[in-house]
Structure 1
Amino acid sequence: MLPVVFIHGIRVSGTMWEPVISRLDRPATALDLPGHGVRRGEPFSMDAATSAVADAIDSLGGRALVVGLSLGGYVGIATAERFPERVAGLAAMGCTSRGAAMVGLYRFAASLAARDPSRANRISSLLLRRLLPGPAGAAMVTGGLSCEVMPQAVEAVAGHDQLAALAAYPGRVWLVNGARDRFRINERDFLRACRDGRLILIPRRGHLGVLKGPGPLARLVGDLCDQVDRPERAVATPSPR
């Protein structure tokens, strides 16, 4: 049974995936990236982040479906490029924007957060709980917040060529976006770069709203694992609602 490695978004930690993992019927783990969660204070770089993902894959047997959201999606793409033999398939969620304008927006937000990380962490906690009421929001903040690492993470993503990485990776890729995600603007460019890619849109969901339905999201991840294990029997993947 193919295991799953989950990668979290910027400033949060692996605990954000707990509601999904608890509904998944296969081995899975959610690591903390450098500078986040239990690794808060460590410098963030794309090499360090992808090495952490590779270590998590190795802990589950050396081959896994990699699922990442936002920053986690960008790190997942870089991991697939660097360690293609370990990444059996990739579900990259909420990470199909690029270009100078988007990088500038990310840099501005990150610089604001890093000026007063404690205050930014408090505001982020309130906003995340409001955006994702109940267990999903609680899971986002349980592992602590690390706004001080945001500038390093943004620069690492800005310095990596995601389209070239996708073109280099020979495995299956699913680009998963909320239909209302404002950061899906370059999804067609990302899809064209994939050797074997599919685009999945989740209706009525925004950037983080895809986490509001952990049960359907777990079923989607399980279906993607099945498609990797039995590609000859794969069928059209339904969007979770």
Structure 2
Amino acid sequence: MSLPVVLVHGVRTSRTMWRYQVAVLTELGLTALAIDLPGHGARRGEVFTLDGAIGAVTDGVDTVGGRALVVGLSLGGYTAIAHAARHPEQVAGLVAAGCSTRPLALLTGSWRMAARGISHLPDGGARLNQRLVDLSLPMSTAADVGAGGFALEVMEDVLREVSGLHPLDDLARIEVPVWIVNGRYDHFRGEEHRFVAAAPDGRLLVVPRATHLVSLMRPERFTRVVLEALDELDEREP
């Protein structure tokens, strides 16, 4: 029996961004669970903390049997890396997408300033956010990413929390296979080779014609990455 899959979304989005992947995996008879992180989706109104986010992944893996292939994009990727380092017994393999730049204080500080400015717009940045979604994603996945609502208010908390992450150190402690996946035009690709080298069993996949939101821009190709990872892990399972 194949391993279950737990999927962790990016910042401001929710578990609905994984609807395509969950539908395909389920149709193939696999177990797939997309979760909401604190402050997002069904958990909007909660304060986002890193411990809370890692706890959400932990609970998700427990729900599907205690051990899984964990897949995360952007914030979800950083969270999944931190979770795997803290809870190796829960992770058979890791797909970390769109998270190949260290969240250094200089970067997160600049992003926090930008987020504060956007939050002071009359609509809190909702129109700008929707415009970016409409311009950057196919109609089908744009609908998926917006179905759970956009948690624009979480940016300050998220950026504060991720500035304390050390993904290269965490990757060095992850002994299971790690797939680092980026869109070719992802602005978070800057340190992808360092990320791959940090993992004892790391490998890099770059998806053509995709930017940061690789699972939404190329959903079929990204899902194939997940299925190929499952195939490799299934061969390793006792």
Q: TM-score, normalised by structure 2?
A: 0.92
Q: Secondary structure at the match of 2:47?
A: coil
Q: Secondary structure at the match of 2:93?
A: strand
Could you give the per-residue CA deviations for residues 1-30 of structure 1, whole angstroms, max 9, x where no partner exists?
111111111011110010121112211011
1:134 deviates by 1.4
Determine whether 1:75 maps to 2:76. no
Name stretches of at least 5 consecutive residues in structure 1 with no aligned partner: 233-241
Could you give the per-residue CA deviations for residues 140-170 of structure 1, whole angstroms, max 9, x where no partner exists?
1110011111111111111111111111122
Q: What's the counterpart of residue 36 of structure 1?
A: 40
Contact 2:97 2:214 in 1 (8 A): no
Q: Which of 60, 65, 86 matches 1:61?
A: 65
Q: 2: CA distance between counterparts of 1:155 and 1:61?
A: 32
1:116 deviates by 4.7
Matched residue type, 1:148:
E
Q: Secondary structure at the match of 2:175?
A: coil
Name stretches of at least 5 consecutive residues in structure 2 with no aligned partner: none
Contact 1:110 1:154 in 2 (8 A): no
Q: What's the counterpart of residue 184 of structure 1?
A: 189
Q: Which of 172, 180, 196 matches 1:175?
A: 180
Q: What's the counterpart of residue 102 of structure 1?
A: 107
Could you give the per-residue CA deviations for residues 11-64 of structure 1, whole angstroms, max 9, x where no partner exists?
111100101211122110111100001100101111100000110111111111
- Distance verdict in 2 for CA 1:190–1:117, change over 3 Å: farther
1:12-161 map, 5 Å: 12-24=13-25, 25=28, 26-98=30-102, 99-116=104-121, 118-161=123-166
Q: 1: CA distance between counterparts of 2:93 and 2:43?
A: 26
Q: Secondary structure at the match of 2:113?
A: helix
Count of residues paired in the alignment:
232
- Distance verdict in 2 for CA 1:117–1:66, change over 3 Å: farther
Could you give the per-residue CA deviations for residues 210-238 of structure 1, whole angstroms, max 9, x where no partner exists?
42222222122011011112149xxxxxx
Matched residue type, 1:37:
G
- Distance verdict in 2 for CA 1:224–1:106, change over 3 Å: same
Matched residue type, 2:40:
H
Q: What's the counterpart of residue 208 of structure 1?
A: 213
1:121 deviates by 2.5
- Distance verdict in 2 for CA 1:210–1:55, change over 3 Å: closer
Matched residue type, 1:65:
L
1:183 deviates by 1.2
Contact 1:67 1:91 in 2 (8 A): yes
Identical positions, percent: 46
Q: What's the counterpart of residue 7 of structure 1?
A: 8
1:114 deviates by 3.5
1:103 deviates by 2.2
Contact 1:21 1:28 in 2 (8 A): yes
Tell which deviates more after alignment, 105-114 or 157-166: 105-114
Q: TM-score, normalised by structure 1?
A: 0.91
Tell which deviates more after alignment, 214-223 or 143-152: 214-223
CA RMSD of aligned residues (A): 1.7
1:123 deviates by 2.1
Q: 1: CA distance between counterparts of 2:127 and 2:54?
A: 28
Q: Which of 176, 197, 222 matches 2:227?
A: 222
Contact 2:67 2:92 in 1 (8 A): yes
